Structure 1
Amino acid sequence: MTPATDDPPPASRPRPVLPPGLRLPAAAGLLVFAVAVGTTQIALQATNREADRQLQQLGRVYLDGLAASVRTGLEAGDPDYVAGRFGRAFGEQHGVAERALFAFDPAGRLLARHGDPLLPEPDRALLEREGWRMDPVGGVAWAARSVEGASGSAGRIVAALDIGPILAARERLSWTIIVMDLLLAALFALLAWFVLHRLGRPLRLLVRELSEGASRPPARLPDALINAVDPRTAHVLGAYNRMADGVRERERLAAELADREQAAALGQLAANVAHEVRNPLAGLATAVSTLRRFGDRPGEREEALAFLERGINALERIVSRTLSLYRPEQDHPLTRADLDDLRHLARPAAERQGVTLAFGLDLPEGHLGTGAGGVRQVLLNLLLNACAATPRGGVVGLQARIVEGDLLCEITDEGPGLDPAAAERLSGGGAPPETGSRRLGLGVVVGLLGDLDARASVAARPGGGTAIRLVIPLDRSRAA
């Protein structure tokens, strides 16, 4: 059975992919990567648009020179003259190469053409206005211009420019920029992650210590770490260290005070018992001496035995009276806070043994019923015994809830198991086990259970260890 905790995480809450200390560096790295890639893509699109505009300007400049060369032929309607000028233009290809040249008369009829015969004629929409159109698939840029003569429009010329090499070079450049951009963006994203991860290390340690404070005492952060951070962060970490020191000192003082109170109580109990028992023991010793010396005389023997019997009865009354003094007659009602206090009372022993306490208290607020003193004493003794029996790194658990008017408590440990004689005694049968501990033993726990009208059962856990189950009536009159 797994011990319950006070505040289990909600089952519906999704578990984060990254721990809290890595979320900020990861988010910053992704942001740097996205910004770097996005800005580069925007710049690349702007560059491509500017390159298209400059290419269009280049086509217009080319047509300006070609228009001056063929104007005379267009005005005269001479196709041979125009074709000859087109041929000379093809012979001077040192920049952007032409795929084909077209000349149209003012009516829109083809007058002359030169170049690639497989290239189709340009569409009439391009002829109706001065225009520019790019065909990236075919690698052709269509440039059109009207030619003005002395008496008006002399015709129109259209050039099919070969821009395939330019587009191929631009594509290679774009891919080079994209690859370099991705590499640089990833590099700077990793750099941002590394820097923030390093800067956030003190806060990650602080968050980890605070989050684990419910299962163990807070631990001090290294002084070297505090000295290596900025003053504001150092102030926060120093405040945490002072808090951790205060908690540890308070727990140490509480444990020391508890030990002193226990030692004082044991000392007072021993002194009272010794004082009350000394006189009856002297008389018993005298009776024993009489029996040794005059045991063969019936009268002396009977008188000595009667004295021994009276002395033993006196000792029994002294012991009963002493126990009644250390059992409080008046007690306040039991509350959930009384069981919460057990966590703090058992924590010093748990820390010394290196075990973890896991409490699951499903109890309402307010008075629960029966007196708190006996219940607290029983549970505290069983928790201390469980801590002593559990190996280092194990878990000692306490679960409590109310079932049909009874307080149901279960103490679990991961030890080697309770001795059979002790388990039988705790369950209600058998003699009390022998013990050499100065603490209140199992016999006292059994006596307190009897005063509370409680029932106990002991069972071995499947994974190892012991589970002690207590049923304590909250209404003593109902139990009677």
Structure 2
Amino acid sequence: MRWFSPIPLSVKLPLLAAAMMVLVGMVASQQVLRSLAQVQDARIQELARMHVEGLSVALGPLVLRHDHWEVYDTLDRATQGGEGRRMVLTAVADERGRVLAATDPKRVPMDSDIAALADDVVALDDLRVNEASPSLSLLAPLIYQGRTVGQIATVLDVADLLSERRRALFMLIMGNAIAIGLLSSVGFLAIRRMLQPVTTLTRHMTETQGEPHPIPASEIPRGDGELARLARIYNSMVGAVTAKAEAERRLAERERFVALGRLSSSLAHEINNPLGGLLNATDTIRSFADRPEVVRQSAELLDRGLRHMRDVTRATLDQNRIDPETRLLTAEDLEDVKLLIQPEISRLDLDLEWCVDCVALANHIIPAGPVRQIALNLLLNACAAAGPKGHVGLTVGSGRGCLDIRITNSGPAMPEAALVRLLGDGPLMPGGGVGLRLVRELARNLGGTIRHERETEVTRITVSLPIPSEARDAQE
């Protein structure tokens, strides 16, 4: 049933309804045909019983006297009636089973064995219309005054009954096909119209491109049904997300300006104080250039002031520099990477496989910054290589004292230029980005290795990062 999953819901429901209608039609047709067969069997049995009973009354004395000509004449008159035309052949035998007369003497000669009339002779109560043969053979006792005086064999023509069954079957098939076709078409249109809000909601959720958009009011169903409420709830969520994003943007901007103001005032305060003294020193040097002692003292003052300003700028840089060595890798860092890569996954409709061993991360002391950059760069390249509706995967685990970060994609093989950037140390050729070479440099700075594999139409990049020696000693 895996092939059935990608089919849209607006097609699945009409197909299921049509399948149920076909099943119901088949069951109903079987019941109609079974009822028709029962009516036909009862009719043919009743006709055969009347035929046998009538002949028994008329032929009883003649059979006892073995009057061949009278028996033949009676059979001939019996076949002249309307229902008698169904009797293709009738033969009468005595108690020993020897034929006295038959409607077709050439086929059933006189004094022949009546059992040889047909191969599939059945009793009256077992008489059934069989699809395999257009005729039925009946063998019944000839009873006169309460005792059996002979036998009656009859071949009945049931071709018209079989034709009636075929016509009924054809009409049932045609009627069911027309009904199923019409109802399936109407059901498809009706269900598709009913599911239009769901399709619209799905489209808006999958085509967000990092920024969800509300459903227009013209596309929301009227009334207060479930689908209408669902669309309004989605619009409320989009509004809440937009408002939250705007609030976060304003808060971040405000914090940035506050931090910038604090930094500016701090720098102005720390630099402005010695700056006045430095300007006085330069004026003193200009005014008393002929006095070496004054120039020397002013130069020393300039040196101390400039050194102080240098210390201030260094302290400011150290306080605001992002040091990749200060924070260790945790599972939250990889969740941040997953969050950053999600817009690209949604835009290309990719299948993302994500497997992170949290125990392995807890046992490996590795800085977070370089690993985040490595994973993000490789995932971006994997998404671009996989293309729309492709497969991208990330697996993080441990093995042989290393943290293994494995990135896979189902796209074409990596070009030679990309492999040179990822695995080589030579100079880069003009053109192309620096992301793969950055991955190479970051992995090498951490003492790690990079492996490239290509098998079963899947490209696999594995970055193995060893545990730092001091961390290994601490674990031991």
**TM tier relative to shorter chain:** 0.5 to 0.7
CA distance in 1, matches of 2:374, 2:282: 39
1:275 aligns to what? 269
Q: Give me the whole-angstrom Cα distance separating, in 1, the residues matched to 2:338 and 2:124.
A: 91
- Please say if residues 72 and 103 of structure 2, whose CA atoms lie closer than 8 Å, have aligned partners that are also in contact: yes
For residues 85 and 101 of structure 1, the distance between their equivalents in structure 2, rounded to whole angstroms, comes to 11
1:200 to partner: Cα distance: 4.0
In structure 2, the residue corresponding to 1:18 is in which secondary structure?
coil
Name the residue aligned to 1:262.
256
Is the 2:57–2:144 Cα contact (8 Å) retained in structure 1? no
Residues 118 and 137 in structure 2, CA contact (< 8 A), matched pair in contact too = no
1:417 corresponding residue in structure 2: 433
Distance 2:230 2:135 in 1: 68
Deviation at 1:42, TM superposition (A): 2.6
Query: What SS is found at the alignment partner of 1:364?
Result: helix
Return the offset for 1:276: 2.0
Shift of residue 79 of structure 1? 0.7
Is 2:9 aligned against 1:18? no
C-alpha distance in 1, partners of 2:335/2:95?
103
Q: Secondary structure at the match of 1:316?
A: helix
Q: CA deviation at 1:411?
A: 11
Moved more, 115-124 or 54-63: 115-124
2:202 and 2:307 map into 1 onto residues whose CA distance is 64
Match of 1:164 in 2: 159
Q: In the superposition, relative to structure 1, how do residues 473 and 78 fare at CA in structure 2: closer, same or farther (>3 Å)?
A: closer
Indicate whether 1:43 and 2:59 are aligned: no
Aligned twin of 1:227: 221
1:37-71 CA distance string (max 9 Å, x none): 22212321222122121122122233344444434
Q: Does 1:106 align with 2:95?
A: yes
Give 3-state SS (helix, strand or coil) of 2:97's partner: coil
Correspondence 1:72-91 to 2 at 5 A? 72-91=61-80
TM-score by length of 1: 0.64
- Over 3 Å counting, the alpha-carbon distance change for 1:207 and 1:30 in structure 2 is farther
Change (3 A) 1:230 1:151: same
More displaced, 191-200 or 96-105? Answer: 191-200
Partner residue in 2 for 1:139:
134
What secondary structure, in the 3-state scheme, does the structure 1 residue paired with 2:101 have? strand
Whole-angstrom distance in 1 between the partners of 2:24 and 2:123: 45
- Which residue matches 1:318? 312
The match for 2:117 among 122, 127, 133 is: 122
Do the aligned residues in 2 keep the contact of 1:427 with 1:457 (CA within 8 Å)?
no
Aligned 8 A contact 1:98 1:160 in 2: yes
| Separation (CA, whole Å) in 1 of partners of 2:142 and 2:375 | 110
Return the offset for 1:166.
3.0
Unaligned runs of 5+ in 2: 109-113, 409-417, 419-430, 454-460
Q: Which has the higher contact order (CA 8 A, sep 6+)?
A: 1
SS of residue paired to 1:117 = coil
Deviates more, 1:167-176 or 1:260-269: 167-176
Secondary structure in structure 2 of the residue aligned to 1:49: helix
**Which structure 2 residues correspond to residues 62-461 of structure 1 after superposition, within 5 A?**
62-93=51-82, 96-115=85-104, 117-118=106-107, 121-122=116-117, 132=127, 137-149=132-144, 152-203=147-198, 220-228=214-222, 231-282=225-276, 309-326=303-320, 335-341=330-336, 361-364=356-359, 375=368, 417-418=433-434, 455=446
Cα-to-partner distance string for 1:288-333 (whole Å, 9 max, x where unaligned): 778889999988987776655444322211112223444699x886
Q: Answer yes or no: is the 8 Å Cα contact 1:127–1:156 preserved in 2.
A: no
User: For the residues of structure 2 that align with 1:471 and 1:318, how far apart are their CA atoms?
Assistant: 37
Q: Distance in 1 between matches of 2:327 and 2:24?
A: 67
Matched-pair contact (CA < 8 Å) for 1:63–1:144: no
Distance in 2 (CA, whole Å) between partners of 1:34 and 1:164 is 30
Deviation at 1:80, TM superposition (A): 0.4
CA RMSD of aligned residues (A): 5.7
Contact 1:333 1:367 in 2 (8 A): no
- Mapped partners of 2:203, 2:105: distance in 1: 75
User: Is the Cα contact below 8 Å between 2:448 and 2:466 reproduced in 1?
Assistant: no
CA–CA separation in structure 2 for the residues paired with 1:107 and 1:34: 54
Segments of structure 1 that go 5 or more residues without pairing to the other structure are 1-12, 429-448
Q: 1:144 to 1:256 in 2, by over 3 A?
A: same
User: 2:309, 2:402 → 1: CA distance?
Assistant: 37
Structure 2 CA distance for aligned equivalents of residues 124 and 405 of structure 1: 87
- 2:395 & 2:122 partners in 1: Cα distance? 92
